[in-house]
A and B are shown apart, each in its own frame.
Chain A
Amino acid sequence: MTTTAPRGTGAVAPGPGNGMAAPRRATIAARTLRTDRWWLQPLVTAVALLLFVVYATFRAFQDAHYFAEPYISPFYSPCLTTACEGDTFPELFTGPTWISPALYILVFPLGIRLTCYYYRKAYYRSFWLSPPACAVAEPHRRYTGETRLPLVGQNIHRYALYAALVINVVLFYDAVLAFRDETGAWGHMGLGTLVLLVNATLLALYSLSCHSCRHIVGGRINSFSRHPLRYRAWTQVSRLNARHMQFAWASLFSVAFADFYVLLLATDTISDLRFF
């Protein structure tokens, strides 16, 4: 027990809460007393994510200029339909012509990023303002977090990871195919090959550094000493995990850049720089 002394009521909460005054808190009306530019980071995050979403949406629906021999844009890979440009992946089915092939696979990268523990922080803060920054009151009357649908679904992040790992393999496959030239002969490498390779690597690092991955490889066990191999794996993933945010941004940038590079090639705006 702390005390038995009766206490008065009154005072206000920093946030609106459920509309009721929080009992007995210090009466400070300001939503925050922070004097630094706390709004800058959520603003930058929001702008960057918005720019990406606008660009990616436009490109995904465009259904054109996503293949420039031997390169395929990562937005369109794996390209599964008979309508696909190029021949990078087995054509599995014929879909309606008005559906861009990008849309069939969009759910996979979208899935891991939406449920990713880093992006959750980023978009909860910068879009949902919950909270906009630490010790800055959020504008919502109610808050239930991830306790109910739909947000309780964030718990299936690991399945998004499994799917993303498959995509990662495909993107490496694409990068390997990019060592062929326009005629399909091996022994070629251009700037595009490098771009695809870097992109596939960053995306793989993003997947492997994910918190679910860290849990699956070893985090779930309590006795590391009895599982030395898994402990080693956990240690490595933990090291990557510390840079998960950096990988998240780097791979977001690289995937957009790789697509943009293919776009430039496909529209003959530039030509590929050939190393050999």
Chain B
Amino acid sequence: MELERHEYDVVVVGAGGAGLRAAIEAHESGARTAVVCKSLLGKAHTVMAEGGIAAAMGNTWAEDNWRVHFRDTMRGGKMLNHWRMAQLHAQEAPDRVRELEDWGALFDRTPDGLISQRDFGGHRYARLAHVGDRTGLELIRTLQQRTVALGIDVYMECTVTRLLTDDHGIVGAFGYWRESGRFVAWQAPSVVLATGGIGKSYKVTSNSWEYTGDGHSLALQAGATLVNMEFVQFHPTGMVWPPSVRGILVTESVRGDGGVLKNSAGNRFMFDYIPDYFRKETAESEEEADRWYTDKKNNRRPPELLPRDEVARAINSEVKAGRGTPHGGVFLDIASRRPAEYVRRRLPSMYHQFRELAEVDITAEPMEVGPTCHYVMGGVEVDPDTEAARVPGLFAAGEVAGGMHGSNRLGGNSLSDLLVFGRRAGAAAAGHALTRADRPELADDALADAARAALAPFEREGGENPYTVQHDLQQTMHDLVGIIRTEPEMDEALERIAVLKKRVGNLSVEGHRQYNPGWHLALDLPHMLLVSECIARAALERRESRGGHTRDDFPGPDPEWGRTNLVCARAADGSVTLTRQPLPEMPAEVAEIFEEQSS
């Protein structure tokens, strides 16, 4: 078998914010490091992040500190977050943002020359370090340039299809060059998964094609576990028209900078959807909400800036009640509330996106928006301090890791998550590799088996078209395991997924191995199905509504479920098993943060 082989201490899978930050840290810890990514360097989904990086730097509000950020994060996640991850995240995010400046990042500034911070849903203070509405691009470009300056090897357009293990844990990874279809294997005692999310299993999503859940699936297959997979975040504001752009993200900054949601009757309907849980900190009248933008001390937040799950559900209800826009969304209006010049300066890429793709001038008319699948809170179960999965040598950081965001992620907490836990994963991966003396060879039969599996779609004649199977999976997840869920629908989803699994066993692709997207999709589909099954099973099991998981048949939260995580594992026969696991308990000195700020 023709196979290209490489040897490293740490192989990072994925070149988004978490992957690059992990690679930089591993390299600086003295490990020989490689980054493997499916796209070109700098194209990872992180570029789509718009709003900013949440970090309690206190540049605009001196009252802000990690304890407030921690509390906001936990409350946003409906207390299902791993408290230690939320704590580390809140404590370390400011330093992670500052070091980006040492690497060339240029954030927008406050009048006294510090990093400017903006308001976002669920954050008590203006906290998001940002560059206009293209913060993700700034983040990825900064890390990319740092990676290149350090001379870290990057395997671009290269897909990992398997993690290789022995009795002691990770020994390497196997994959193929997208460009040539040739196989490549990396021998490495540490692998960091930073592969992002799962959104491509849904029909309406803000995610790119890369988000096939391959990291989640690789981890499961290597023997690791996934936690909180039932929690999928639907971002309240995606584009709804024209159909070809449906799902593309409309940043939360539109609301942070003064935009409001209205139904077809012109009402700011969010005032009708304030949950008791957030009532004390949410404005009661439009006047109070409007005053808040300039006077945060004496007024409460507008309900448009409730956490994303609340807003997404509210939009969903309005549309279902027949108060939606002609294209099935609601109106997001900043044109009537802020001067055109302000909108163009604060939201340049939104202005551009709507003008180019929808022929809408957002400085003159409202946008039409609706929920779109955006983020999976669930992911690989990791140790909070080292991001180590249950398989020795396997680490996970960023969206592919679970626990940090609980049942719902706050906007802006994703980019900071990437930096904080990317760095920790990189350091721990390097530490693991440097302490592991033996370098077990990659087993020939494992490599041969991986190659055989990858080539199987070429062997079959007249099988299924992978694009059709993908389409059917997306439709299933959209219709049956979407934003509002019921037991019969999820039962049906699991039946359909079982059928799709059989169909995936019978895929065939045309052409040859050189840059063949049909083949690439055929190899991604098993990952998508495995992850979809985890989501559906966990969602069926959790009989309550909480954060990104809403059950029509169990509409309220259940305190018992509030202390329970669901953990997915893969059984020997390939099926998904589900275990209930108690939530890690918060120590008293952390728990008291909630008492001190409950005013």
The chain B residue sitting closest to A2, CB to CB, is B156
* The one of A1, A5, A225 that contacts B180, using a Cβ cutoff of 8 Å: A5
* A4 contacts the other chain (CB 8 A): yes
B179 touches A3 (CB 8 A): yes
* B154 contacts the other chain (CB 8 A): yes
* The one of A1, A4, A225 that contacts B154, using a Cβ cutoff of 8 Å: A1
* B561 contacts the other chain (CB 8 A): no
Give Cα A3 to B154, complex, Å.
10
* B4 contacts the other chain (CB 8 A): yes
Q: Is the interface of A mostly helix, strand, loop or mixed?
A: loop
Give Cα A3 to B176, complex, Å.
11
* B182 contacts the other chain (CB 8 A): yes
The chain A residue sitting closest to B153, CB to CB, is A1
Interface size of A by Cβ–Cβ distance < 8 Å?
A: 6
Interface digits, B168-186 against A, CB 8 Å rule (1 contact, 0 not)? Answer: 0000000001011010000
Give Cα A2 to B177, complex, Å.
9
Min CB distance A90 to B, Å, is 51
Give Cα A33 to B112, complex, Å.
52
Give Cα A3 to B153, complex, Å.
11
Contacts of B156 in A (CB 8 A): 1-3
Contacts of A2 in B (CB 8 A): 156-157, 179
* B594 contacts the other chain (CB 8 A): no
A5 touches B177 (CB 8 A): yes
Min CB distance A16 to B, Å, is 29
* The one of B113, B153, B154, B182 that contacts A5, using a Cβ cutoff of 8 Å: B182
Interface digits, B556-573 against A, CB 8 Å rule (1 contact, 0 not)? Answer: 000000000000000000
* B155 contacts the other chain (CB 8 A): yes
Min CB distance B58 to A, Å, is 23
Contacts A/B (CB < 8 Å), 12 sampled: A1-B154, A1-B155, A1-B156, A2-B156, A2-B157, A3-B177, A3-B179, A3-B180, A4-B4, A4-B177, A5-B179, A5-B182
Interface digits, A1-29 against B, CB 8 Å rule (1 contact, 0 not)? Answer: 11111000000000000000000000000
3 A-B pairs with the lowest CB-CB distances in the bound complex, closest first: A5-B180, A2-B156, A3-B179
Instruction: List 7 additional A-B contacts (Cβ < 8 Å) besides A3-B156, A5-B179.
Output: A1-B156, A2-B156, A2-B157, A2-B179, A3-B157, A3-B180, A5-B180
Interface size of B by Cβ–Cβ distance < 8 Å?
A: 11
Interface digits, B71-109 against A, CB 8 Å rule (1 contact, 0 not)? Answer: 000000000000000000000000000000000000000
Q: Is the interface of B mostly helix, strand, loop or mixed?
A: loop
Contacts of B179 in A (CB 8 A): 2-3, 5
Give Cα A160 to B4, complex, Å.
60
Min CB distance A9 to B, Å, is 16
Min CB distance A7 to B, Å, is 9
Interface digits, A217-252 against B, CB 8 Å rule (1 contact, 0 not)? Answer: 000000001000000000000000000000000000
Contacts of A1 in B (CB 8 A): 153-156
Contacts of B180 in A (CB 8 A): 3, 5
Interface digits, B128-172 against A, CB 8 Å rule (1 contact, 0 not)? Answer: 000000000000000000000000011111000000000000000
Give Cα A110 to B120, complex, Å.
57
Contacts of A225 in B (CB 8 A): 113
Min CB distance B301 to A, Å, is 33
Give Cα A5 to B182, complex, Å.
8
Give Cα A4 to B182, complex, Å.
10
The chain B residue sitting closest to A4, CB to CB, is B4
Give Cα A3 to B177, complex, Å.
7
The chain B residue sitting closest to A5, CB to CB, is B180
Contacts of B154 in A (CB 8 A): 1
Give Cα A49 to B168, complex, Å.
78
Contacts of B157 in A (CB 8 A): 2-3
Give Cα A130 to B404, complex, Å.
56
Give Cα A1 to B156, complex, Å.
7
Give Cα A205 to B582, complex, Å.
74
Give Cα A4 to B4, complex, Å.
9
Give Cα A28 to B182, complex, Å.
28
Interface digits, A194-232 against B, CB 8 Å rule (1 contact, 0 not)? Answer: 000000000000000000000000000000010000000
Give Cα A211 to B179, complex, Å.
44
Give Cα A1 to B6, complex, Å.
13
Min CB distance B33 to A, Å, is 14
The chain A residue sitting closest to B155, CB to CB, is A1
Min CB distance A6 to B, Å, is 9
Contacts of B113 in A (CB 8 A): 225
Min CB distance B149 to A, Å, is 16
Give Cα A239 to B4, complex, Å.
56
Min CB distance A2 to B, Å, is 5
The chain B residue sitting closest to A6, CB to CB, is B180
Contacts of B182 in A (CB 8 A): 5
Give Cα A5 to B515, complex, Å.
12
Give Cα A5 to B154, complex, Å.
15
Contacts of B153 in A (CB 8 A): 1
Contacts of A3 in B (CB 8 A): 156-157, 177, 179-180
Min CB distance B209 to A, Å, is 19
Contacts of A5 in B (CB 8 A): 177, 179-180, 182
> 8 Å CB contacts to A: which residues of B167-211?
177, 179-180, 182
The chain A residue sitting closest to B181, CB to CB, is A5
Give Cα A270 to B161, complex, Å.
86
Give Cα A95 to B156, complex, Å.
71
Min CB distance A29 to B, Å, is 23
The chain A residue sitting closest to B109, CB to CB, is A225
Give Cα A4 to B157, complex, Å.
12
Min CB distance B116 to A, Å, is 15
